[in-house]
Structure 1
Amino acid sequence: MTALALTGRSLNWRGKSGLPPARGPIHAFPGTLQSERLRSVLTQAQEAGIKGTIPEILCDPRLLQILSRQFKVPVPSLETCHRHYRDHLESFRKPERYLGRQIVLRCLKSDLQGRAEGWARAERLIAILFFDPKMFGDLVATYDSITDGSGSGRLGPVMRGELPCELDIALCGLRPGQIYPTPVATEQGIHVVMLDHILPGEVMHFASVHGRISATLRGELQVAAARRHLARLAERYTAAAAE
């Protein structure tokens, strides 16, 4: 690895073992302003732990991200943001939501016998529902269920990832009208799970994402400005070093 040392108007580089040290001739860089710009960039690279030859540092993507935040760019116009919104409409669509039902046979996780009995009972309920899904309403009224207050045993609507892992895998892996083929064990008890509907995600209104779009476009402009700045420094440094 190489190490950076700023001393006076020169930049000293200690080369790899066995190689003669190389010098970065900042003092020979064309123009005082360009020299100071290069010195500033290399100082920031050093502070970020970015090492290598000067051309390598100027091409390092980590330096690009550091410098991009320092560039002032115009705020994208409303029309520019609208155009980005129209061109990337699907990226602003909310995730699908899943609406189903469940029967929960309550039992403590530590109650191994209760869990075994609940599991066996849940398997019988699943067998009944596979034969006649319309029995769900009658069955959920008979057993201890976590309900929405109407006795329906409603589950959702929820997005993928919002439920406990076991329930999430079961519910979101079904097609509408399907019953999960095995009981599902959670902290609450043993669940029988059925999916009724998958609600399509709605596209968010422009007003709700305008700020996010503007920040994204400004970030892209800043990165582009930093990339041009580093490319110019690298080109002029290479030309100066060759003289």
Structure 2
Amino acid sequence: MATLIDKTMPKMANGDAVKVDPKPKSPEIYVNGVEITLEAIQQEVQNHEAEKPKDAYLSAARALVVRELLLQKANELGIEAEQMADDQGRRETEEDAKLRQLLDQEVDVPRAGEEECQRYYDQHIEKFSSETIYEARHILLAGALEDPVARRKGQVKANQIIESLKADPSRFGEFAREFSQCPSAKEGGNLGQLTKGQTVPEFETVLFELEEGQISPSPVPTPFGYHVIYLDRIIEGQQLPFDHVKAKIAAYLEASSWSRAVAQYIGILAGAAEIKGIQIDGADSPLVQ
């Protein structure tokens, strides 16, 4: 069950592990007299991506300050934790339960009305259409990038196949079963219905330029080798009616409103608190990012 602050391995923005100074100076950060300890920050830093380790460290410290602010408010209001469990029986922590209940109680988010949803739909109409579908087949002459000999042989064979298909395109399935080194060979090279993002960019660039019934005029290089592509059919995307996406729009608008409201609430708590050693505003919270 996801918690309010997910536990992930330490990563920087480039994917490398965050390296934390094993003996940094004490941060001396306090929230209404409660210290945010060095040990807690070192543990929390695992959950924050950053270009530099010091930025991840600062982000972790801010997250803990926000968490402490919210927990202090929950305790002040006498909120008793009622821990929830997901469908696999995993229970949230007592602190997470308190935070959830506090925000449910204190942050009021109005429901998105029909008029508001319609306005968003009209202003972002391009977002609400089904994707164009491409029904295609291919023949793969395999050759990894690090194997130039195999790639060159594949390119030559692909060119030969294309020349043969110019004379008789109906043999595409036959050639696919005989020469293709893709599992789709047994299906005559059939890749089924493809949408944007389902194949590598090099393949898509050519596929999306073909017309129905057209074969790629030259072999298509990808990291897997060389392809001969046959585009059977294009099913153009269709505009989705408002009624089909209204619930999705409402959920998005309400989630956005919740994030803004939480940020404002945290800002109010921070403004009324005595915080030493770090500057905090509502946008620093991991709950609203």
How far off is 1:74 after superposition? 3.6
Counterpart AA for 2:194: V
CA distance in structure 1 between the aligned counterparts of 2:255 and 2:148, rounded to whole angstroms: 55
Whether the 8 Å contact between 2:176 and 2:185 is mirrored in structure 1 is no
Task: Give 1:18-97 correspondences, 5 Å limit.
Answer: 74-78=110-114, 81=117, 91-97=127-133
The answer on 1:111 being equivalent to 2:111 is no
Counterpart AA for 2:153: E
Comparing 204-213 and 82-91, the one that deviates more: 82-91
Deviations 1:154-192 (A, max 9, x none): 124111232111111111111111111111122322111
TM-score (norm 2): 0.44
The answer on 1:169 being equivalent to 2:209 is no
- Which residue of structure 2 aligns with residue 187 of structure 1? 223
Structure number with bigger Rg: 1
How far off is 1:126 after superposition? 0.9
Give the gaps of 5 or more residues in structure 1: 1-70, 223-243
The percentage of aligned residue pairs carrying the same residue is 32
Query: Equivalent of 1:144, from 180, 184, 197?
Result: 180
Give the gaps of 5 or more residues in structure 2: 1-106, 259-289
Comparing 174-183 and 153-162, the one that deviates more: 153-162
CA distance in structure 1 between the aligned counterparts of 2:137 and 2:180, rounded to whole angstroms: 14
Does the C-alpha gap of structure 1 residues 215 and 127 become closer, same or farther in structure 2, counting only changes over 3 Å? same
Whether the 8 Å contact between 1:122 and 1:191 is mirrored in structure 2 is yes
- Which residue of structure 2 aligns with residue 230 of structure 1? none
Deviations 1:185-237 (A, max 9, x none): 22322111111111222455767633432256569999xxxxxxxxxxxxxxx
Deviations 1:58-116 (A, max 9, x none): xxxxxxxxxxxxx9664233476468658976642112011111001123332222211
Whether the 8 Å contact between 1:147 and 1:154 is mirrored in structure 2 is no
CA distance in structure 1 between the aligned counterparts of 2:166 and 2:135, rounded to whole angstroms: 19
The answer on 1:128 being equivalent to 2:164 is yes
- Which residue of structure 2 aligns with residue 32 of structure 1? none
Whether the 8 Å contact between 2:173 and 2:188 is mirrored in structure 1 is yes
CA RMSD of aligned residues (A): 3.6
- Partner-residue secondary structure (3-state), 2:214: coil
- Partner-residue secondary structure (3-state), 1:104: strand
The answer on 1:210 being equivalent to 2:262 is no
Whether the 8 Å contact between 2:215 and 2:229 is mirrored in structure 1 is yes
- Which residue of structure 1 aligns with residue 282 of structure 2? none
- Which residue of structure 2 aligns with residue 99 of structure 1? 135
Does the C-alpha gap of structure 1 residues 150 and 205 become closer, same or farther in structure 2, counting only changes over 3 Å? farther
